[in-house]
Structure 1
């Protein structure tokens, strides 16, 4: 419950920073998707979403895929990210990964003066839908990639498709240039922030900091952290584009502009003497306030 409340706030800020005309909310089905997920459970969830009358539109995340969303779509009109065969826009993971990659390039530009990841060692923690796509982009850019996951099947896929990737037991304490958390959040604690060796942190995971104050530790150690809800906004842009009827190319161009958004946030952080997280929040809150003014006429 704590996680979903944090996620719902994050989605609100993510939508605002991403420039999409949506509010922000989150739903979680409590249970192990490997054992608890059934057509009946997804159908029951969909019927609940339908009772909200469109105030909440559901989509995929950890533990779900487009096939699950197809099942959900049988019982609610308010779902995005279904397979193209049933009128959806398909899996949002590639666009989420592209947004993270563009954010990482912006962070590299800020930290090292070049947007290229060539020659850098990047540790990807979590090789599911998004992590897998991110690895593909990093390798194409010339990065050396280390990867880990608690799911043996996900790692087997990486081993088979990307034999040049080194599989390790732990990422966060490895010798890295970039730490990319792409699994569950809250991996950056008071302790790990003081021991991490990477100089840049940028990944797809939500709520990476256990508490906002952890960013102070990273900053004091000279580590560049990219606010997570900015970096992982590509998936939201993808499904928002589905609602608006945007083409795949239009969506991709908007996701690629996350590079500019992250660059602006780092500039605001430097110019205003505030943390990157505070700068991102300020950008989001300004747009939310403007939307409220417009709504009130």
Structure 2
């Protein structure tokens, strides 16, 4: 499915390029994180926002959410200081506000709850502001809960049991979600090894008693479970993966969907990233849009285990992959119109900004 709407603008305060992609509003208004990142070229940022918004459409559809897929990106040329960062965020907020609720933003790579608070100065269409300001704060904890739910289903399919005691688990990326996962799995008795490009994070992992490995060695480590929890594009054609089960929160882990078939042919069970990583958006929208209690929203996150199990059972029965079954489920929801009660649709268009004209 092609993108429904792409808007690229140069901020009037900062001069920095900011963009929003609405991939689909078939099920409701588009939701997705705001990525704040240095890119070599503007078109690299555009490629990123398009891929990420498409993944959000699949994530929301498979998770049963009445929301569509979107994403926003601030395409930095360098890391800004605090004052300029604020100007950039306000420019981005103006762009979000111009969509009249067609896109709802949350944190992503490079942004957090405090940044959402800045965005909210200019637009109400923002999730995950700090709890003391009425939001749900960081979604990293619920995201980790969702990964663990998908992991249980995957472990039963591969090992016959979801117990993690004495299982060797390698986590690529020791950020906020990776740290939650490492702590939870170690508490279950797993032998946890982590990797990260940031030496400070690796030192913190060592202080917690976790093993460490260099990022370039991650795929080749003999392990029971590999958890990609950092950047996307981890698995390309012919990627050597030593673990029989791969499940993690990193977005867009495959360089191409055909890699899922390649992994399956080599005996690797890969749980689609947009399934495993849905806990954060399920929880946040449950709390902030659905007005659920903390416990009710977490119950919905835990339900990702049953969703994953159904996808794995269908893949086994049909001789396909979990990705093929997840895509079929997403397409069925999108074409059925389920969730259209939110009623926000926008005409398919691309609004050229100064850099696209």
| Structure 2 CA distance for aligned equivalents of residues 228 and 4 of structure 1 | 16
Structure 2 vs 1, CA of residues 33 and 232 (structure 1 numbering), >3 Å: closer, same or farther?
A: farther
User: What TM-score do you get using the length of structure 1 for normalisation?
Assistant: 0.94
Give yes or no for the alignment of 1:175 onto 2:219: no
Distance (whole Å) between structure 2 residues aligned to residue 2 and residue 36 of structure 1: 26
Within 2, Cα distance between the matches of 1:62 and 1:7? 12
Structure having greater relative contact order (Cα 8 Å, sep ≥ 6): 2
Please give the per-residue CA displacement for 1:5-30, whole angstroms capped at 9, x wherever unaligned. Answer: 11111101100111111111111112
Matched, 1:260 2:306: yes
In the alignment, does 2:50 pair up with 1:5? yes
Shift, 1:35, TM fit = 3.8
**Which structure has the larger Rg?**
2
Partners in 2 of 1:280 and 1:229 — Cα distance? Answer: 9
Q: For 2:278 and 2:67, how far apart are their aligned partners in 1?
A: 12
Q: Displaced runs of 4+ in structure 1, greater than 2 A? A: 31-37, 152-160, 292-296
Partner of 2:335: 289
Structure 1: stretches of 5+ with no match in the other structure? none
Count of matched residue pairs: 292
Cα separation, 2, equivalents of 1:33 and 1:99: 33
Map Cα deviations across residues 173-194 of structure 1 (whole Å, 9 max, x no partner). Answer: 21211111111111101132xx
- In 2, are the aligned partners of 1:16 and 1:288 still within 8 Å (CA)? yes
Q: How does 1:1-297 map to 2 (within 5 A)?
A: 1-31=46-76, 34-35=79-80, 38-160=85-207, 162-163=208-209, 165-170=210-215, 171-192=218-239, 195-241=240-286, 242-291=288-337
Q: CA RMSD in A?
A: 1.7
Secondary structure of 1:27's partner? strand
Q: Answer 1 or 2: which has greater helix percent.
A: 1
- Alpha-carbon deviation of 1:36? 6.4
Q: CA deviation at 1:52?
A: 0.6
Task: Give the distance between the partners of 1:32 and 1:109, measured in 2 at CA.
Answer: 45
- 1:84 to 1:32, Cα distance in 2 relative to 1, 3 A: farther
CA contact (8 A) 2:66 2:338 kept: no
Deviation at 1:72, TM superposition (A): 1.3
Distance 2:299 2:79 in 1: 35
CA distances 1:55-99 after superposition (whole Å, capped 9, x unpaired): 000001111111111111111100001101111111100001110
